[in-house]
Structure 1
Amino acid sequence: MSEQIVLPAPADFHVHVRQGKMCELVTPQVAKGGVRTAYVMPNLVPPLTSTDAVLSYKAELERLDPSIQWLMTLYLHPDVNPEEIRKAAKAGISGVKSYPRGVTTNSNSGIEDYGVYYPVFKAMEEEGLVLNLHGEVPSDPEKNISILNAEVHFLTHLKKLAHDFPKLRIVLEHATTSNAIEAVSSLPSNVACSITAHHLYLTIDEVAPQPHHFCKPLAKEPKDRKALQDAIKSGNPKFFLGSDSAPHPLGSKVPGVQEDGSVSACAAGVYTSPILIPLVATLLESFGALDKLEGFVSTHGRKFYGVPAIEGKELTLRRTGNAEGEGIVRGTLKGEGVEVLPFWTGKKLEWEIVN
C-alpha cells in the first residue's frame, strides 16, 4: 500500500474565488489545497464579459497569490461577440463559460438560446478557446423539468453543439448523472467533462438534510455517483477534475428568518478548495481508483486544455496518521467580515500534503 504519492502539478479546471473580502479570504486557499493551476469562473457581479475586465480580475488574483497559474474565462453574454473573442485569445484568455439563465449563482445574465451565439462559437473554434458549459436547463413545470432532471434535458444541446462545431473544444462542467457520462463518452474527442470531488461522495440523500451539501447541479442517485466513479476508474482521459469549489458566506448557506418574516434561500455551492487534492485522493482510494489519481488531477485535464505541467511544481501527498484528531478537517475559515465552512468538516482525510 502506497504511503506517499508524487503528483505533477495538480490542476483544478473549475474554481470560484469570488470578489471583495471573500476573494481575499479564499484565493490563497487554492494553493493550500494542492492546486498549481486554476481555471477561474467569470460569474461575478457584474459578470466578466470583456477582455479588459477579465485581465483586471486576473491581476487581482495574481496579487493575492502569484504562485498559482490562473487561467481565465469570459462569461457568455450578448456583449461577447467574435471581435471580443479574438481580443481575448490574443490576451491569453483560455475559454468562455456558458450559464443558462437563472440556473445557479450569479446566472441572471445567462443565455436562453445557443443559436444566436453560433458566430461566437465559430470564432472560438478558430482561435482555440474552450467552451465551458454549465450543463443544465432552467426548470419548467409545464415540461416537468426540475433541478433533478435539468442536466439530462441539457444533453441534447451538448450533442448538437458537438456536431455543429467539431473542432471546438467543449467541456461539460461538473457532471452529476449517468446520462451525462454516457453522452460525453459517446461524443468525439473534442468533448470532455469535469467532475467535482463532492459529487464523488454525495447523493441526494446526503443533500436533503444538509444545506452545506446543496449545490447546482444537485447531487443525484447512487447509480449516478457510481457512474462518475466508474468514469474515473476507467482511466478515460475525457474526465478530469473541476472542483466547482464555490464559497458562500456562512449565513447564506443556512436559511434564516428575515425581518419581514420570510425565509431566506440557501445558496448553491460546496467549498472544497482548502482540502481539494487530499480529499480527491481520499475519495478515489475509497472506490478503488487511487492509481488513477494522477490522470484525474493533472494529466487528462492538462492535455485537453493544452496546459503542460509546470516543472518544479510537483505535489507530494502522504498518508495521515492514526493519532487522535489527525487528518480531521477543522471548522470555518474566517476573514474580515466573512466566514466560510469547508466541505468534509469533522471528517478524516486519509491523505495530507507534504509540500
Structure 2
Amino acid sequence: MTHSLAILRPDDWHLHLRDGAMLNAVLPETARHFARAIIMPNLIPPVVTAADAAAYRDRIMAALPEGAAFEPLMTLYLTEQTDPADLRAAVESGLVKAVKLYPAGATTNSHGGVRDFDRVRGVLETMADLGTPLCIHGEVTTPEVDIFDREAVFIDTVLDPLRRATPGLRVVMEHITTAQGVAYARAGTDLAATITTHHLVINRNHILVGGIKPHYYCLPVAKREEHRLALREAATSGEATFFLGTDSAPHTDALKEHACGCAGCFTATNTMSILAHVFEEDGALDRLEAFTSLNGPAFYRLPTNTDRITLVKGDAVTYPSKIDTGDGTVTVFDPGFPLHWTVK
C-alpha cells in the first residue's frame, strides 16, 4: 500500500554550499526540495561583511538551476573585528538574517573564529537590539576537554554566561548532539536548537566499529546511543524549540578519505526521505511538518512557505551514491537502511 503526506515546503536552517564548482554541483540538491536555507559563511576567505554576503548571494543565485525557486538566507561570520554598524546595515537592509559564531578551531574553516568574547560584546548587543539570531557552533576547543564532552562543557562555560551577559540575545544552538543540549534548549527563552538529519540516524559506533567510516565523521561528532535517542525524541516532539538544520556539508571523497579527513556529512540529496522514515518509525509523521516547515520560520520571524510538497511511500527509493563536481566526487550520506519515502 502506498501512503502520502502533504506538508508545507521545508526550509533548511543550517546549510553549507561552499563556492565555485562545488556550489554549482550541490545547490540543485537542496533547491529541489527546500524553499530557503540559512547559508553558512565559513568560506575561504569567510563572509564577514555585508559586501561579502551580497557577493556570495549573487553567486548562489547565479548557480541556481533554471526555474528553481530557492532563497538563500545569508549570514555573517563573527570575528573579533566585526563592525556593529556594518552588521546593523546588513540586517536592516534584509540581506543578513543571522550571525554565525565559530569558536576558533571548532570545525572546518573556523580558524578565524572568536577567542575573546569581550571583543565581540558590542556586536552581540547590537544583535540583541535588532533581534538578529546568533547561530552557535557549540563546542569548546581546549585540548584538555574530551571531544565527546565539548558540547556539554560549552553550554556550562560559554553559552550560559554569554546569554546571561547579553539579555535579549536570540540564540540558535546549532546541530545539538547531546541530551544536555536538548535539556538546555528546552529550558531557555529566546533560544532554539537545530538538529541534523544524520545525528538522528548515527551514533559513534557507526563511525568507529568495524573500521573507521569517514563519511560518518562530522563535527560535532556523533555521540552515544542515549544521546541519539534524546535527539530523536526532541525532533519528533513537535516542540517549537527544535527544527531542522541539516548541516549538509560537502567535501570531495579525496578529502574525506584522507589521513586527516574533513568533517561533514552530505545529506541534502536524501534528507526528506530519511526524515520521513525516522518520523514514521517513531509514530510522529503528523509532527514532521512542524520540524521541517513551521518551527524554523517562527523563530526567525519569517513567514512560512505557502507551497507544498508531497511525500509518497512505496517501493524502495534509489539515490545516487555520489554527486559529481568539478572538484571531484562527493558521497551522499547512507543512512544504512532502505528508504521508501520520496518527494513526489
- Shorter-chain TM-score bucket reads over 0.9
Structure 1 spans left out of the alignment, 5+ residues: 256-263
Structure 2 spans left out of the alignment, 5+ residues: none
- Residue of structure 1 in register with 2:313 after alignment: 319
Summarize deviations over 1:303-349 as a string: whole Å, max 9, x none. Answer: 001121232x311110032xxxx313332111223210010277421
Distance 2:43 2:159 in 1: 24
Distance 2:34 2:41 in 1: 19
Aligned counterpart for 2:301 among listed residues 306, 323, 337: 306
- Residue of structure 2 in register with 1:296 after alignment: 291
Secondary structure at the residue paired with 2:280?
helix
Q: How many residues align?
A: 336
Deviation at 1:220, TM superposition (A): 0.2
Change (3 A) 1:2 1:241: farther
Letter in 2 for 1:177: T
Secondary structure at the residue paired with 1:94?
strand
- Residue of structure 2 in register with 1:177 after alignment: 178
Distance 2:8 2:142 in 1: 41
Does the 8 Å contact 2:6/2:309 carry over to 1?
yes
- Residue of structure 1 in register with 2:227 after alignment: 224
Secondary structure at the residue paired with 2:262?
coil
RMSD: 1.5
Aligned counterpart for 2:330 among listed residues 316, 335, 340: 340
Deviation at 1:2, TM superposition (A): 7.8
Distance 2:125 2:83 in 1: 10
User: Which TM-score applies when normalising by structure 2?
Assistant: 0.94
Deviation at 1:103, TM superposition (A): 1.3
Distance 1:345 1:223 in 2: 18
- Residue of structure 1 in register with 2:103 after alignment: 100
The structure 1 segments of at least 4 consecutive aligned residues displaced by more than 3 Å after TM superposition are none
Letter in 2 for 1:238: T
User: Which TM-score applies when normalising by structure 1?
Assistant: 0.91
- Residue of structure 2 in register with 1:261 after alignment: none
| Equivalences for residues 45-124 of structure 1 within 5 A | 45-65=44-64, 67-92=69-94, 93-124=96-127
- Residue of structure 2 in register with 1:274 after alignment: 269
Asked whether 1:3 is paired with 2:3, we answer yes
Identity %: 34
Distance 1:192 1:55 in 2: 26
Does the 8 Å contact 1:98/1:134 carry over to 2?
yes
| Equivalences for residues 149-164 of structure 1 within 5 A | 149-156=149-156, 157-164=158-165
Secondary structure at the residue paired with 1:293?
helix
Letter in 2 for 1:318: V
Distance 1:320 1:232 in 2: 24
Distance 1:333 1:170 in 2: 33
Asked whether 1:28 is paired with 2:28, we answer yes
